[in-house]
Amino acid sequence: MRKSERDVQDSTRSITRRGLMLGGIQAAVIATLGWRLKTMQLDRADEFRMLSDGNSIKMRLLPPARGLIHDRNGVILAGNEQNYRVTITREEAGDVSAVVARLRHLIPMTDTSVAALMAEIGRRSAITPVSVADRLTWDQFASIAVNAPALPGVTPESGLSRSYPRGGDFAHVLGYVGPVSDYDLSRIENPDPVLMLPEFQLGKVGVEAKLESDLRGKAGARRVEVNSAGREMRELSRVEGQQGATVQMTLDAGLQNFARHRLGEESAAAVVMDVNTGDILTIASSPVFDPNKFVRGISSADYTALMNHDHRPLADKTVQGLYPPGSTFKMVTLLAGLESGIINAGTRFYCPGHITVAGRRFHCWSRGGHGSVEALQSLERSCDVYYYELAQRVGIDRIADMARRLGIGVRHDLPMSAVAEGIAPDRAWKRARYDQDWQVGDSINASIGQGFVLASPLQLAIMTARVATGKAVEPRLVRAIDGVAQPVPEWPDLGLDPAHLRVARAGMDAVMNGSRGTAARSRVVAPEWRMAGKTGTSQVRNITAAERARGVIRNDQLPWNRRDHALFVCYAPYEAPRYAVSLVVEHGGGGSAVAAPIARDILLFALAGGLPPLDAYPSGQRGEIEEMRAKLRLDTPEPPKLARVRA
């Protein structure tokens, strides 16, 4: 049936409206797409470029080289050595187990090490590289690099690892570094991202730990392109890290090495201090250990051997060890008596070999006594009874105050671990510690450095330096950081009467050079190096009345750990002091026989700048000294030429 003209017109109008509507919709869609394209390609181009780059470009932190540590002459004490290692990143590896299985064909890995690696990978973030192995040989490192296409997520790296070329010489003072542990991270509020890097090394103890912020440096970064499998294709840019600061210590490598060998395998400690600047030239604890083993991962057998050793090689006896100072403390008691006005240089006490106080007998080391003794002689002969009498008149509070003025019972600020405070006891201390009253017997024991009195070898060196100079000298261990010298303060005066100090010094001189000096055998005959000193022997066991009646057992007949400690302090030259030395030999026996000869040798080495001439020793000892030197295997370093330290 033929449509009417009207029907045709209506149908045409309907089709036109639909076409226009469809065209409008199409135009709107095209306009929307165009707007979105403009937004994505122009307005938000940087944002999407970053998202795209995130899928193909990765940022890798570059660990900084750790700062070097030198001695005062420029000898390297702690440096860095090349280390080849390999890491794996879980996000980029895909099937980690399969990748590790391939790695086992290239480098030796035990089932135990693989299990530990998988546990570490599971524990760490997917984007954090985890160390697979380090200290690889060049051949192992090269084989991994060659097989990189089959090892997604695996990165062979060439880095630096800490090394200690002087071995055990500075193990106790410098400490060592080790991998960052969860415990280390828990102690840091906002840990540096570089600490998350595999096998990054952090100072654990000693100077390495105390100066960590200076030595660590700042991390660098590199941008690398990776493919869809996470395999690194090329490096786009690199910014090297900033090496940590170079630290110059006050220590002397040659003197430290001599002190170490002179102490031998004794359980001992020695400190050499410049009495004018406070510089520590030597701070040696014996026996030593090799810090390189801790950096590389010490074996269980080696660590157990160190822990079970009765001479405690891991303990730093110079600052952590606390000992009854014995008769080396007598200068403290003497100066307390002189300063209080209780005695003067000519005051005498009679020594019959003992005194009885409150029904208890206190013995002098000389059973026959010393007779009538004045101040200088009390030090020369080390008369105990003189100090028993003096302590009862002076009182413990004055003695304790003098001990603190001379550096005992005070924690000194050094960048070393666990620096001990020591004990200079008084009435208040005993009440606070034991809730007991102070007894006169406590004062008598304290007067000769026994009882509650405890001091470290460092404190005894400081005491000696202060007696020698009359100044409140403090120890210094850091000489310069990045070439900038650390200031030497003008040490304040102790406020002690110079006449009283002269009495103490003259007594110490008589110990070495007097006709009845307890250390006369260890004197120095070279007049320019005349030495003043004081012996000390501290008991570690009680001697009963019954034992005294039948005869005190000699030290060499006792088990090692029940023998007396041997101590000695000294300074030289007597007229113009330069160096003070303190020395403790645990369970060594007598201070005059054991500690004094070692301390003299160390002091002479410091004064001479090397092995002193034999004519510095008494003529009858020169053959013995020459024989002793022949047995020492010294490793005296040749210092490099350094730029002058900036003031």
**Residues 132, 86 contacting (CB under 8 angstroms):** yes
What is the C-alpha to C-alpha distance for residues 3 and 7, in angstroms, rounded to an integer? 6
23-36 average pLDDT score = 79
pLDDT of residue 188: 82
Lowest mean pLDDT, pick from 9-23, 264-278, 491-505: 9-23
pLDDT of residue 50 exceeding 60:
no
Residue 299 has pLDDT above 70, yes or no: yes
At how many degrees (to 10) do helices 96-103 and 111-123 cross? 150
What's residue 422's pLDDT? 97
Using pLDDT thresholds of 50, 70 and 90, give the confidence band for residue 646.
Answer: very low
The helix (H) or strand (E) run that includes residue 567 is strand 565-572
CB count, 10 Å around CB of 457? 29
Q: What pLDDT is stored for residue 558 in this prediction?
A: 79
Question: How does pLDDT run across 508-524, given as a tens digit for each residue?
Answer: 999 999 999 999 999 99
Hey, which of 43-57, 82-96, 368-382 has the most confident mean pLDDT?
A: 368-382
Distances (CA, A) of 153 to 55, 137, 173, 416: 14, 21, 40, 41
Confidence of residue 637 (pLDDT cuts 50, 70, 90): confident
Under the banding of pLDDT at 50, 70 and 90, the label for residue 647 is very low
Band of residue 164 on the pLDDT scale cut at 50, 70, 90 = very high
189 CB-near residues (< 8 Å, 6+ apart) = none
CB 537 within 8 A of CB 564: yes
CB neighbourhood size of 143 (10 A): 15
- Residue 343's pLDDT band, with cuts at 50, 70 and 90, is very high
Exposure letters 528-566 (e unless 16+ CB within 10 A, then b): ebbbbbbbbbbeeeeeeeeeeeeeeeebeeeeeeebbbb
- Report, as an integer, the average pLDDT of 378-400: 97
Selection from 61-75, 167-181, 373-387 with the highest mean pLDDT: 373-387
For the record, the structure tokens of 185 come out as 């991270």
Question: Are 504 and 335 within 8 A, CB to CB?
Answer: yes
Show the 3-state SS of 153-188: CEEEEEEEEEECCCHHHHHHHHCEEEECCHHHHHCC
Residue in the structure block whose two tokens are 């952590």: 320
Give whole-number Cα distances, 185 to 209, 305, 337, 339, in Å. 14, 29, 52, 52
Q: Is the pLDDT confidence value at 135 over 50?
A: yes
What integer pLDDT is reported at residue 309 of this predicted model? 93
DSSP 3-state assignment of 41? Answer: helix
Rounded mean pLDDT, 35-60: 65
Architecture of domain 258-300+310-631: 3-Layer(aba) Sandwich (3.40)
Segment among 277-291, 305-319, 531-545 with least mean pLDDT: 531-545
Give the model's pLDDT for residue 2.
61
The whole-number average pLDDT for the span 578-605 is 96
Question: What is the residue whose two structure tokens read 């590896």?
Answer: 93
* Residue carrying structure tokens 């490793």: 635
Res 552 pLDDT > 60: no
533's tokens: 């000193």
Higher pLDDT, 105 or 433: 433
Angle between helices 384-394 and 396-405 (to 10 degrees): 110
Single-letter code of the amino acid located at 635? D
* Residue 546: band (very low, low, confident or very high) from pLDDT cuts 50, 70, 90: low
CB 561 within 8 A of CB 546: no
Most confident of 79-93, 195-209, 243-257: 243-257
H-assigned helices in 515-638: 545-550, 596-608, 622-631
pLDDT at 197 over 80: no
Position with higher pLDDT, 41 vs 415:
415
In eight-state DSSP terms, residue 592 is I
SS3 string, 486-510, reads CCCCCCCECCCCHHHHHHHHHHHHH
CATH 3.40.710.10 location in the chain = 258-300+310-631
Residue of higher predicted confidence among 557 and 532 = 532
In terms of CATH architecture, what is 64-226? Alpha-Beta Complex (3.90)
Residue 589: predicted pLDDT: 87
Distance of alpha carbon 130 from alpha carbon 124, whole angstroms: 8
pLDDT of residue 85: 80
Among candidate residues 480, 500, 557, 457, the one with its CA nearest the CA of residue 214: 480
Give SS3 for 47.
helix
| pLDDT in the model for residue 642 | 43
The pLDDT-based confidence of 228 (bands split at 50, 70, 90) is low
pLDDT score at 645? 40
Which tokens is 173 given?
């003072």
Strands 247-249 and 69-70: parallel
Burial of residue 388, with CB atoms counted within 10 A of its CB: 0-12 exposed, 13-18 middle, 19 or more buried: buried
The set of residues, in sequence order, having a beta carbon less than 8 Å from that of 283 and lying 6+ positions away, is: 172, 173, 251, 256, 270, 271, 272, 318, 319, 416, 458, 477
Statement: residue 639 has pLDDT above 80? no
**Phi, psi of 318, deg, nearest 5:** -70, -35
Residue scoring higher pLDDT (16 or 531): 531
Radius of gyration of the chain (CA): 36
Cβ proximity of 251 and 557 under 8 Å: no
154 close to 231: Cβ distance less than 8 angstroms: no
For β-strands 69-70 and 57-62, DSSP reports them as unpaired
The CA-CA-CA angle for residues 187, 191, 192, to 5°, reads 145
Per mean pLDDT, which range of 15-19, 261-265, 567-571 is the poorest?
Answer: 15-19
Beta bridge partners of 476: 279
Find residue 517's DSSP bridge partners.
Answer: none
| Residues pairing with 350 in the sheet | 372
Q: Which residue has the tokens 């290692």?
A: 85
Residue 138 CA, distance from chain mean position: 33
Instruction: Average the pLDDT over 458-473 and give the result.
Output: 98
Record the pTM.
Answer: 0.83
Tallying the residues shown for the chain, one arrives at 647
Average pLDDT value for residue range 488-505: 97
Q: Is 33 exposed, middle or buried (0-12, 13-18, 19+ CB in 10 A)?
A: exposed
Task: Express as a percent the part of the chain with pLDDT over 70.
Answer: 89
Per DSSP, the chain holds a count of helices (H) and strands (E) of 24, 21
Residue 644 has pLDDT above 50, yes or no: no
Identity of residue 507: G
Residue 179: predicted pLDDT: 84
CB atoms within 10 A of CB 252: 24
Query: Taking residues 120-129, what's their average pLDDT?
Result: 79
Reply yes or no on whether the pLDDT at 227 is more than 70.
no
Q: Which of 128-142, 187-201, 234-248, 545-559 has the lowest mean pLDDT?
A: 545-559
Average pLDDT, rounded, for the chain: 88
Stretch(es) of the chain classified as CATH 3.90.1310.10: 64-226
Cα 130 to the center of its chain, rounded Å: 29
Q: What is the mean pLDDT of residues 34-47?
A: 69
Please tell me the distance from the alpha carbon of residue 55 to that of residue 226, in angstroms, as a whole number: 8
Closest residue by Cα to residue 64 from 239, 216, 223: 216
